[in-house]
Amino acid sequence: MKVTLPTQTLMEGIGHGAAVAATKSPKPILECVALRADATTGVSLEATDLDVGIRYHLGEAAVSQEGSLVVPAGRLLSIVREVDEEETTLQETEGSLAVDTGRSHFSVRGESIEEFARLPFFPEAPAAVVPADLLRNLIRRTRFAAATEAGRFALHGVLMNIHGSSAELVATDGRRLARATAELPSKAQRDIKVIVGPKGLGLLERVLAARTGDGDSADVSIAVEDRQVMFRSGGALVVSRLIDGTFPAYEDVIPKSPKHHFSCTVADLAAGLRRASLLTTRDALSVELLIDPDTITLKSRAMEVGQAKIEVPVEYDGPPSRIGFNPVFIQDALKIMDPAADVRFSFTDAKAPATITDAESYTYVVMPVALE
């Protein structure tokens, strides 16, 4: 194998592969990326941890000699990051990968390509096609709410529900829930209702963000086969093993008609919570909201560090109310919103879940915490 390609293209591809490859594994092959060079199809890079995988086509590559080789992802990425030249040449030499930039020369020991797990190929017909920027926005608005602690396995994923011309993603960890919906420009060929791991969706979001940055807003084709979901966009294929289990009946958690509402800019509420959180601790991770007409007061208190009191202007004409929340949960939702947008905070009382939204297509539900 011998190829020459733009250094930036190479680094982008290896970066995606390194995000998939395991950092520490009893199987060293899972810490690697596979490079495949073909005179007709060009150069592609693959990586997998057996749950998530990526095949990424490295465009604009000149293939002098066909071949394939598996090398450690982290090591190769570190080398390419140090390259100053616009082009890099990769060549297999006696089982090692030589990296030549003109002024720098490296040789990385490779692994056998036969031991590398083969990724599936996308079927001829997708089940659904979704605009890349739309799907990326749905992922960004929900993935962060998936569970990370040990518990119900289904909560460790994001529900993806595509039916007809509507798409919906939902994630919850039992204490908060994020739901984002969108109308598709075309109907799905087949309905999709699966639970996808957040790592696979995070990788897809990363790939789509890089392509959007290049001015490419191509569609994403989606298919489900053999307990795997596949996403194809341009020269990138992201594969994620599905999560087994039953997703909870999330519709029952979303408040149907909260009694009270206040609104303010995302930036004002985020700044107030950030300041109030300065005097919280791991054992006292709560902020009290005192809601009055035209103003909410955010109060935090921890015996060992002190207390804070922050006022935020709002639009509210209901009765005075007092509710406590984990500030991190609210801040996580505000981070994915436009700081200049208006956010609507709806609640009933100090024991009922509250909802936060900046658009009809987005609902974020958060459970309150008990106040002393």
Q: Quick: pLDDT tens for 253-310.
A: 999 999 999 999 999 999 999 999 999 988 888 999 999 999 999 999 988 889 999 9
In a domain, 120, yes or no: no
Residues 301 and 338 in one domain: yes
The burial class, CB within 10 Å (0-12 / 13-18 / 19+), for 15 is middle
Task: Note the pLDDT of residue 212.
Answer: 57
The overall average pLDDT reported for the chain is 93
Rounded Cα–Cα distance for residues 90 and 93 (Å): 10
Residues 36 and 96 in one domain: yes
Tell me which of 231, 249, 267 is where a domain ends. 249
pLDDT tens profile 143-173: 999 998 766 677 899 999 999 999 999 999 9
Check residue 237 and give left, alpha or beta (phi > 0: left; psi -120 to 50: alpha). Answer: beta
Comparing CA positions, the residue from 117, 139, 123, 111 lying closest to residue 53 is: 117
**Range with the poorest average pLDDT among 94-103, 316-325, 344-353:** 94-103
In a domain, 161, yes or no: yes
User: Per-residue pLDDT for 112 more than 70?
Assistant: yes
Using the structure block, give the residue that is written with the tokens 């011309």.
Answer: 165
The burial class, CB within 10 Å (0-12 / 13-18 / 19+), for 161 is middle
pLDDT tens profile 53-100: 999 999 889 999 999 999 999 999 999 999 889 999 999 988 899 998
In a domain, 240, yes or no: yes
Rounded Cα–Cα distance for residues 111 and 37 (Å): 16
Rounded Cα–Cα distance for residues 211 and 207 (Å): 6
CA 353 remoteness from chain centre: 25
Task: Note the pLDDT of residue 211.
Answer: 67
Domain encompassing residue 195? 128-249
Number of domains composing the chain: 3
Residues 93 and 175 in one domain: no
User: Per-residue pLDDT for 103 more than 50?
Assistant: yes
In a domain, 227, yes or no: yes
**Residue 56: its H or E element:** strand 52-58
Residues 243 and 260 in one domain: no
> Residue 215's pLDDT band (boundaries 50, 70, 90)?
very low
User: Per-residue pLDDT for 119 more than 80?
Assistant: yes
Residues 241 and 136 in one domain: yes
In a domain, 102, yes or no: yes
Tell me which of 249, 272, 293 is where a domain ends. 249
Task: Note the pLDDT of residue 217.
Answer: 58
Residues 239 and 308 in one domain: no
Give me the CATH number covering residue 258: 3.10.150.10
In a domain, 110, yes or no: yes
Q: What is the pTM of this model?
A: 0.92
Residues 192 and 106 in one domain: no
